[in-house]
Amino acid sequence: MQIRIANWRYYTDNLQLMISLDDIDRKILRELSRDARMSNLALADKVGLSPSACLRRVQALEASGVIKGYRAVLDLTKLGAGFLAYVTVGLNSHTKAAQTAFERGISSAPEVRECHNITGTVEYLLRVEAADLAAYKHWHTEVLGVLPQVQSITTFVVMDSPKDERA
């Protein structure tokens, strides 16, 4: 039985190879996701490798793109951004042009810390940080609300985050 893929070139051009990880690689990733600032010596000790072997593995994980970068975990309240909300946005047109225009429109908004194109009844899920409710309202009305592609906006205000493992 033969299976034919209608657009083979598209399929092969967009195929992403899965990286094969062993238990040691997974331990390295787990430890670095908890504390990316730990020294290579400490990491090697935690995962049971020599420092040189550990460094080679970390470099291989970086080179392969499994590790895309390192980030600091910030205290938003101390930075004056104590208001956090998730915002769903529905567009008035389901075209690539509308998506591109919307993404371009919010790309320069510093309040938008994350933008995800999602499935379901709306097109986007945004993570928005602002100083307070008044600052959020200004962004909601004067930035997001004026984009011509926006049809619907729903805001979910975060009251507490008992678990947050994002870096």
- Same domain for 94 and 29: no
Tell me which residue range forms the domain holding 114: 83-157
pLDDT (average), residues 126-150: 97
> Does position 160 have pLDDT exceeding 60, yes or no?
yes
Q: Euclidean distance between the first and final Cα of the chain, in Å?
A: 47
State the pLDDT at residue 18: 64
Q: How confident is the model at residue 122, as a pLDDT? A: 97
Verify that 46 and 17 share a domain, yes or no: yes
CA–CA distance, 153 with 84 (Å, rounded to integer): 15
Instruction: Please give the tally of structural domains in the chain.
Output: 2
Q: Kindly state whether residue 27 falls inside one of the protein's structural domains.
A: yes
Indicate whether 87 and 36 sit together in one domain. Answer: no
CATH number of the domain to which 118 belongs: 3.30.70.920
pLDDT reported for residue 11: 43
Burial-class residue 24 by CB neighbours within 10 Å (0-12, 13-18, 19+).
Answer: middle
Q: Can you tell me the distance from the alpha carbon of 58 to that of 125, in angstroms, rounded to the nearest whole number?
A: 32
Reply yes or no on whether the pLDDT at 167 is more than 80.
Answer: no
Residue 128 lies in a domain: yes
d(CA 108, CA 147): 13
Q: What is the CATH number of the domain that holds 30?
A: 1.10.10.10
**Residue 104 reports pLDDT greater than 70:** yes
Which own/partner pairs from 96-100 qualify as long-range (CB within 8 Å, at least 24 positions apart)? 98/149, 99/123, 99/149
The 10s digit of each residue's pLDDT in 8-39 is 444 444 444 567 899 999 999 999 999 999 99
Work out the percent of the chain whose per-residue pLDDT is above 90: 76
